[in-house]
Chain A
Amino acid sequence: MTEILDIVVLVFILIGAFFSVVAAIGVVRLPDVYTRNHAASKSATLGVMFILMGTFIHFAAEDHTNTRLILAIVFIFLTSPVGGHLINRAAYYTGVKMWDRSVRDDLMERVGNLNVRSADGKNRKTDELKK
């Protein structure tokens, strides 16, 4: 019985480690901040949730169940994509350049040419920052 539980825990942990390593490779290799943030928020969240679920199964099989771990899983599942969205939005509105092979910018058509606070503390138009 414990052998089967160990195998289940190991499968969860190995899947989580795979997604964490994929997130790290994406953060190192991808070309601009928006794609790197995509890798870091989605893939790292899935990896850490798999590892925490393996930990939860391990401790639930040993003694009593652990509600703090369920709370941590739900909290990370809610807040990690929100944090990724916040930092991506801050990057867009401070005028960080996109990759030069990006083909379209839908938010630019939607919000137009904004007057934003650039990295040196002055107000600039967004299209002169994007050049």
Chain B
Amino acid sequence: MFDNILYGVLVLLTLSILGYVYRLIKGPSIPDRVVALDAIGITLVSITALVSIVMETNAFLDVILLIGILSFIGTAAFSKFLAKGVIFDRDRNS
């Protein structure tokens, strides 16, 4: 019973990733696509947590932190590139 409900929740999360992929392909502007990528990262975190419950191991719990950090750095870099055209400023005073 416990495992069956977990499999059902995994199917729901996969369907929501499919919705984000639709927005990632169709999205009219570039910020739409960045929003969809950030949300895909967040949903991958929950899928990793559920898979580690199903497989009864705690070896995947480091991966959760790693995906969170990489998703946040990606979003920050994309938004700075969109707003300024560069990621690393050479002129620190502008």
Per DSSP, chain A at the interface is helix
Contacts of A48 in B (CB 8 A): 42-43, 45-46
**Are B5 and A36 in contact, with the CB atoms below 8 A?**
no
**Are B83 and A90 in contact, with the CB atoms below 8 A?**
yes
Per DSSP, chain B at the interface is helix
- Count of B interface residues, CB-CB < 8 Å: 48
For B15, B32, B62, B78, the residue with the greatest tally of chain A CB atoms inside 10 Å of its CB is B32
Q: 30 A-B pairs, CB-CB below 8 angstroms?
A: A10-B5, A14-B5, A14-B9, A24-B19, A24-B20, A27-B20, A33-B32, A40-B38, A48-B43, A68-B61, A68-B62, A68-B64, A69-B61, A72-B61, A75-B65, A79-B72, A83-B72, A83-B75, A83-B79, A84-B35, A86-B76, A90-B82, A91-B82, A94-B31, A94-B83, A96-B31, A117-B83, A117-B84, A119-B29, A119-B30
